[in-house]
Amino acid sequence: MSTASKAFEARGVSKLYGETAVLKDIDLSIERGEFVVLLGPSGCGKSTLMRCIAGLEKTNSGQLLIDGRDVTTVAPAARDVAMVFQSYALFPHMNVADNIGFGMRIAHTPKAEMSARVLAAAKLLKIEHLLDRKPRALSGGQRQRVAIGRAIVRNPKIFLFDEPLSNLDAALRLETRVELTKLHHRIGNTMIYVTHDQVEAMTMADKIVVMREGRIEQIGSPLELYNNPKNLFVATFLGQPPTNVVETTVVESSAAGLTVAVGEDRLTLPATGAVLTPGQTVRIGLRPESFSIGQGRGALTVLVDLVEQLGNETLVHCQLANGQTLTLKLPGQINPPAGSSLALDVARDQTMIFDGDGNNLRYDGRAE
Amino acid sequence: MRKTVFAFGLGTALSALSFGALAQDQVKLVYWSLWNEPEPGANVVKSLIADYEAAHPGVTIEAVWNGRQNQTTVRNALASGTPIDIMDADMDGLKGGLAGAGELLPWTDDLAGASPDGTGPFADLFYPTLIDMSANDGVSYQIPYMLYAYNILYNAKLFRDAGVTSAPEDWDDFVAALEKVKATGVNAIAIESDIAFYNVKWFNYLLERIAGPDFLLKAVEDKTGETWRDPAVRKALDMELDLWTRGLVPEESRGYQWPAAQQTVAFGETAAELVGSWLPVELADTVEEGFEWGAMRFPAVKGGLGDINHVEVNAFSFGVLKGTKHEAEARDFIKFVVSAPSQQRFADEAKIGVANKSVAWAPEVATARQSLDEASLILPENHGIKALYPDYSTNVYEALHNQAFLGLITPEDYIEQMVSRTKEFWANR
Amino acid sequence: MIRKRLIVLFLAPASLLYGGLFLLPTLSTFYFSLFNWSGFGQDMTFVGLNNYVRLFNDTVFWLSLRNTLAILFVGGFFVFGLAFLYTVLITSGIWGKKFFRLVFFLPNVVSVVALAGMWAYIYNPRSGLINTTLSTIGLDSMAKTLWTSPNNIFWAMLAALVWVFTGFFLILLMAGVDKIPTDTYEAADLEGASLWQKFWFITVPMLWDVMTISFVIWMINAIKMFEFPYAFGFLQVPQQLYTLGIYLYIMGFGQRDPIYQLGYATAIGVVMLVLTFVLIVVMRRLLRREQLEF
């Protein structure tokens, strides 16, 4: 595919609020029909990036392209995007039909066409029985559907969702998540979705863009990011409970493997390309689910602090001999008493090794 | 025991006695004034009060400075029972107001009695006809003390420069003189467009000069309004409008809001204004050093029934309120204020004209005084209709005249409206 | 039972104040309007509805009423027109917001007399701000306009009055606009709404309750309009500037003249009260809408 036919492209986009840079040299391209999640902690610039795409904020430098067309200075309405706001931004004085049809109304679309399209969108979202109601007579979930309906009816090139689930309760959130994914499969438009919730990102995205402090940290499919994080930030941001980060001392580094010391214990990990000298401190990342109760001595010895039973699995919070904490996610139901000692085996292929700057030494750039 | 009671009783009786005696000696007069406190006139009144209090140890005078709408303030205060002994107001206002309502004490006996300086009757202290003019049905309820004459006040130097050396006594000569002034490049007449009661003086005088001093009141009191169709009305109107046609009044005067026009007099841009003799005092801070004020009598009209020596005036008067508990002291204080030495102080320090005819006025208004000395008849504001029919005077007479004078309505319209509005006035009464 | 008594107890001061300071004076106003009374002394003559008959036949009363209605409607049109224009400017984020705010808020902190003096300077035929500016930019024929001549003075006063009042209603409307969430406007931007469409489809309906209150406040202010036109008239208010309020004052309290017709003045007051009441009822009916939640 040529560059011109990407659904969306950002080239070196920067944005300043006064002196503060909130977006720093963003490069991003999105294929047609992709569901892309912009993920990051609050203040990382993900919402600002989305508002720039929508045209609600002006960029200070760089280019924005939609379907190959430069829209950097184009008015929001002319960009052919639709946005679902976190607050839904419904017009409180209009009923559902008027809310959904607002864009057509101000464009003087004929009445018959307008009501047909409004009805179609409403049917898709199963809110056709609510068309006469005002927003205040709707539940949170219904309001959200209206907001989505207002976007759908325009059939835009790109849908923009700004944390659309954050105002819903947990059960409804789960349900809506699934429905949104289904909706995406059904209508197939490109969607860009902003969230700070890594579960939403993991479950919905074709592609996740992890952002921090105005920069893109890594772009990839959910599993790529999970299995092959570029750095400590991405590694700890994805996954629940988060990756355990343990400080270790290099004992031996060779082509055959890397041996590190954790207190009295020794761990042998796959080799890295980097030069590591014995005695150097490295941080290793261990996913909670990469542990198993050891046969015999095991690789690591820990003391149990607290056990959380989830039924299908068990979370065990424990301590290494040198005081560092670990969280284990073990399958099934086990119940080691607090204070007891456990011998653990570690799935070596799932370990990550970070240098002093937090870069994952096992990151495989070719995977992208 | 009995002794103590007796002593106690005696003590109480004694202190009550001394207190009573004290109260009797100490008279406090309350005076509500038409002056605003910072005015020169108020300063003179203050100094007079100080002198009076010094000469009369038992009397103190408390002044309340209310400004020109004093009478309304006094009315409201009386309604709420505030004790007031003396007040002052515009003479015609007082005549139509408190005096008319019977709220003031009459002065008939005092005016017939000896004057405060002991030189003949009290009434003779004042300009002739001033006291009669202020009386309600022949009874005087007020004592005038300040006096302003309506004259053509002018910048003597500008007239001299134009070659006008003596005051014209006839309308045609007057217009000719103004033309000469205009020819030297200054404006002849100053007009404030928004002050109807200034502008109506032109009409008052012209009507008087043409049809005599009784005509206006007769026209107002004609319930059919038909008197307004008298040719004298049209003639007076045409004569004053002629000033505009000739350009003697600059066209832009139609937009002047007080004090815009009188400022041009002060700056030497305009030569004359028909106004009361308070103007030199009002402009004292604005005119240049050595500004030479002149005042000429309003000129006569050839073949007219009026007289150049009929002068319209405005005066301020004192009244003593009916409810006073200190009548004698109040009357005494007012007599003190109108005595020659007190009046001289007003004339010298505040440079205002005074009602006591024996007092010399300040140089700025000396010519105004001369016109009064020569006056054969003194006319009240709007020839008496302001005091007798104040709502007509304001709402009909002055308002409609201003519209005609400034060209908002034609003379024909003016006459028609005067007829119908006069009829309306009497029908509504 | 105790609760009920307590409620009565707590309501009593407010009711007494309301009754004593509003109801009673209102009723007595109507009572006094049935008399001829100078306000001096106790002499009151009962004349029935004569004062009202006289009002009906009084040219100056109709003139004052006409001026009052001109202030209410023409003035109101411009006051709210300007106030709305500014709220549109705010929602469009245009340059100069602060400058406009200063210009419009200034009159709210300066005394009416000072404002009138300022406008006299602005309108002065020869040395005034408007005419000197006009002649500086070469519009000499316009520079000769006499803004305060009798044919123009009412409109000149009204223009100044509009400026004096716009700021106040701007504060009210802006408080209402601030309450409208910004993303509502952003949603409209994305739908392609123009400035005017945003104003008409979003600002106006979402500002409805604030607008209704503002209109009522303006209506009350306009009908009792007194201070500014009075101050604009300085020494003597020209009849062209008479409002009902000024005519009431002239008839009841004289200005420089001894017109003391309190009964007649009170009848004017009653007319003003009735006018206010009727107009408010009519307006509230016309503008009634359901409550909004946002």
- Are A152 and A15 found together in one domain? yes
Chains C and B touch (3+ CB pairs under 8 A): yes
d(CA A286, CA A326): 9
Chain B residues within 8 A of C135 when measuring between CB atoms:
none
ipTM over cut 0.90: no
Out of A194, A217, A237, pick the residue that ends a domain.
A237
Out of A208, A237, A266, pick the residue that ends a domain.
A237
The alpha carbons of chain C give a radius of gyration, in whole angstroms, of: 23
Predicted confidence (pLDDT) at residue A232 exceeds the cutoff of 90 = yes
- Are A261 and A147 found together in one domain? no
- Per-residue pLDDT of chain B (429 residues), as tens digits, is 444 444 444 444 444 444 444 445 689 999 999 999 988 899 999 999 999 999 999 999 999 999 988 999 998 898 888 999 999 999 999 999 999 889 999 999 999 998 887 778 999 999 988 999 999 999 999 999 999 999 999 999 999 999 999 999 999 999 999 999 999 999 999 999 999 999 999 999 999 999 999 999 999 999 999 999 999 999 999 999 999 999 999 999 999 999 999 999 999 999 999 999 999 988 988 999 999 999 999 999 999 999 999 999 999 999 999 999 999 999 999 999 999 999 999 999 998 899 999 999 998 888 889 989 999 999 999 999 999 999 999 999 999 999 999 999 999 999 999 999 999 999 988
Q: How many domains does chain A have?
A: 2
Q: Which of A331-345, A348-362, B167-181, C189-203 ranks highest by mean pLDDT?
A: B167-181
pLDDT of residue C290: 66
Nearest-CA distance from C59 to chain B in Å?
8
Chain C residues within 8 A of B81 when measuring between CB atoms:
none
Q: Which of C40, C146, C153 sits opposite B252 (nearest CB)?
A: C146
Task: Kindly report the length of chain A.
Answer: 368
Structure tokens at A133: 């109601």
- Are A191 and A307 found together in one domain? no
- Are A218 and A278 found together in one domain? no
Bridge partner list, A284: A246, A353
- Are A293 and A181 found together in one domain? no
Chain C residues within 8 A of B282 when measuring between CB atoms:
none
pLDDT in tens, A300-314: 889 999 999 999 999
Out of A205, A237, A269, pick the residue that ends a domain.
A237
Cβ <8 Å between B256 and C148 = yes
pLDDT of residue B237: 97
Closest CA to C72 of C275, C221, C208: C221
pLDDT of residue A276: 86
Contact A79, A190 (CB under 8 A): no
pLDDT of residue B265: 96
pLDDT in tens, C164-211: 999 889 888 888 888 889 899 999 999 989 888 998 999 999 999 899
Chain A residues within 8 A of C93 when measuring between CB atoms:
none
Cβ <8 Å between A77 and C184 = no
Nearest-CA distance from B408 to chain C in Å?
7
| Residue A210 belongs to domain with CATH number | 3.40.50.300
Predicted confidence (pLDDT) at residue A363 exceeds the cutoff of 90 = no
pLDDT of residue B17: 43
Closest CA to C76 of C214, C207, C251: C214
pLDDT in tens, A120-161: 999 989 999 999 999 999 998 999 999 999 999 988 999 999
Contact C153, B194 (CB under 8 A): yes
Angle between helix B231-245 and helix B196-211 axes, rounded to 10 deg: 130
Q: What is the DSSP letter of A57?
A: S
- Are A328 and A195 found together in one domain? no
- Domains of chain B (ranges; CATH) run 2-148+314-373 (3.40.190.10), 149-312+382-428 (3.40.190.10)
- Are A21 and A143 found together in one domain? yes
Residue of C nearest to A90 (CA): C184
pLDDT of residue C94: 66
- Are A312 and A181 found together in one domain? no
Residue of A nearest to C187 (CA): A89
Side-chain half-sphere CA neighbours of A206 within 13 A:
16
Mean pLDDT of A229-247: 92
- Are A219 and A260 found together in one domain? no
Predicted confidence (pLDDT) at residue A97 exceeds the cutoff of 80 = yes
SS (H, E, C) B111-169: HHCECCCCCCEHHHHECCCHHHHHCECCECCCEEEEEEEEEEEEEHHHHHHCCCCCCCC
- Per-residue pLDDT of chain C (294 residues), as tens digits, is 678 888 888 888 888 888 888 888 888 889 999 999 888 877 788 999 999 999 999 999 999 999 999 999 999 999 999 988 887 776 666 666 677 777 778 888 888 889 998 998 899 888 889 999 998 998 888 888 899 898 999 999 999 999 999 988 988 888 888 888 989 999 999 998 988 899 899 999 999 989 999 999 999 999 999 999 999 987 889 999 999 999 999 999 876 788 889 999 999 999 999 999 999 999 988 888 766 666
d(CA A106, CA B310): 78
pLDDT of residue C90: 67
Longest dimension (CA), chain A: 78
Mean pLDDT of A283-312: 87
Within 163-192 of C, beta carbons closer than 8 Å to B belong to: none
- Are A231 and A259 found together in one domain? no
pLDDT of residue C141: 85
Contact A250, A260 (CB under 8 A): yes
Closest CA to B377 of B213, B232, B171, B140: B213
Longest dimension (CA), chain C: 81
Predicted confidence (pLDDT) at residue A62 exceeds the cutoff of 80 = yes
Cβ <8 Å between B252 and C125 = yes
Query: Residue A201 carries which side chain, given as an amino acid letter?
Result: A
d(CA A142, CA B160): 94
Rounded to 10 degrees, the C-alpha dihedral C38/C40/C44/C45 comes to -40
How many CB atoms are located within 10 Å of the residue A162 CB?
22
- Domains of chain C (ranges; CATH) run 45-286 (1.10.3720.10)
Predicted confidence (pLDDT) at residue A1 exceeds the cutoff of 50 = no
Count Cβ–Cβ pairs < 8 Å, chain B vs chain C: 134
- Are A232 and A248 found together in one domain? no
Q: Where are the beta strands (DSSP E) in chain A?
A: 8-17, 20-30, 35-39, 61-66, 69-70, 81-84, 158-162, 190-195, 207-212, 215-220, 244-254, 257-262, 265-269, 281-286, 291-293, 300-309, 313-320, 325-331, 341-346, 352-354
Closest CA to C112 of C71, C157, C152: C157
d(CA A193, CA A181): 11
Q: What residues make up the domain containing A218? A: 3-237
Give the residue numbers in A contacting C (CB under 8 Å), as ranges: 54-56, 75-78, 81-83, 85-87, 89, 91-93, 102-103, 105-107, 135-136, 150, 154
| Residue A357 belongs to domain with CATH number | 2.40.50.140
pLDDT of residue C292: 64
How many CB atoms are located within 10 Å of the residue C23 CB?
11
- Are A160 and A48 found together in one domain? yes
pLDDT of residue A168: 87
Helix, strand, coil shares of chain B, percent, nearest 5, are 50, 15, 30
Nearest-CA distance from B53 to chain C in Å?
31
